[in-house]
Amino acid sequence: MTIEPGFLDEIERYARSQKRNVASQFQGEQRSAERGEGLTFADYRRYAPGDDTRRIDWKLFARTDEFYVKEYEAERNLTVHVLLDSSASMDFAGEEGLPTKFEFAAKLGLGFAYLVAREHNDFRFVRFDETYDRLDRGRSNRGEVLGLVDTLNAIEPAGDADFGRALESYAATIGSRSLVLVASDFLEPADEIERGLEALARNKLVLARVIDPVERDLPVSGDAVVEGLEEERTLRTHLGNRRRESYRQRLDAHVDDVAARARTLRARHELLGTDAEFFEAFGQVWAE
């Protein structure tokens, strides 16, 4: 896989062209219900001995002859968690010139990380298969994202995805309500996917489901040999119109099933073809 460092410049140009959307993407997500010394006004309360007199609203005193102090919502940095599927099924590109599903999904994650860091918020970048592996070093800046480009280029997707175990384990490390992007082909049993997503559901959850056009519409017919990506086995079969239609119906049913379970968990589910123009797909995932 090869993601060029210049990709970050493309993300920067996207950010400048979408300045309003980028700046407001997480508006309202960063505020705590706790009262503190943040910048967002919350309410007034009567002055009490020991309060900082600098917080007294003197204009309100002039109108009411009572001392009131301003209270503010305590603000905290938003943390965005990118969870990238690195199982073997992601290492697939059915047509020459198209990215693998892993490359496409990785670029989505890098785009999120870059724009989050650009807004001075924090990100965590994780890959998962049967378990998870955190890839970032805790520095949410452009240099960190640039380092992730090299890290991701060195990864060769392998193994099986275990949504239940991997996502449950990672969810236990998230300390406060965050935004979580899961980028995957979601080619696992829907029950296991739901198990993992349930563990993350207290957060704002976005699912980017990447699919290759060859997976969407089988390009072959007649006798064929199908090779497994996550299992070392082959299958000889005959792909006639009926079997092709049956395959498409099963794929559509699985996509619809996962999307329905996502809605139940108040997660957003976006289906993205790897043959799509990248920034159109990215905008689809990034936008509210």
At 104-158, the pLDDT tens digits run: 999 999 999 999 999 888 999 999 999 999 999 998 899 999 999 999 999 999 9
Looking at residue 249, its amino acid is Q
pLDDT at 229: 56
Token pair belonging to 1: 């896989």
CB 2 within 8 A of CB 153: yes
pTM above 0.85, yes or no: no
pLDDT at 96: 87
Decide if pLDDT at 254 tops 80: yes
Beta strands of 178-276 (E only): which ranges? 179-184, 204-211, 222-227, 234-239, 268-273
User: Which residues are CB-neighbours of 253 under 8 A, at least 6 positions away?
Assistant: none
CATH number for 7-26+77-286 (one of 3.40.50.410, 3.40.50.12280, 3.40.640.10, 3.40.190.10): it is 3.40.50.410
pLDDT at 287: 80
User: Which residues are CB-neighbours of 68 under 8 A, at least 6 positions away?
Assistant: 44, 45, 46, 47, 56, 57, 60, 61
Decide if pLDDT at 74 tops 50: no
Token pair belonging to 144: 């960190």
CB 105 within 8 A of CB 112: no
pLDDT at 28: 45
For all residues of the chain together, what is the average pLDDT? 85
Nearest-5° Cα angle at 159, 157 to 164: 110
Percent of the chain predicted with pLDDT > 70: 80
pLDDT at 55: 81
pLDDT at 2: 86
pLDDT 10s digits, 156-189: 999 999 999 999 999 999 988 799 999 999 999 9
Q: How far apart (Å, rounded) are the C-alpha atoms in residues 106 and 120?
A: 21
Domain segments of the chain: what residues? Answer: 7-26+77-286, 31-75
Stronger pLDDT, 46 or 254, i.e. the higher one: 254
Decide if pLDDT at 46 tops 80: no
pLDDT 10s digits, 21-41: 555 555 544 444 444 444 556
Stronger pLDDT, 217 or 161, i.e. the higher one: 161
Q: How far apart (Å, rounded) are the C-alpha atoms in residues 139 and 247?
A: 44
The one-character DSSP state at 75 is E
Decide if pLDDT at 76 tops 50: no
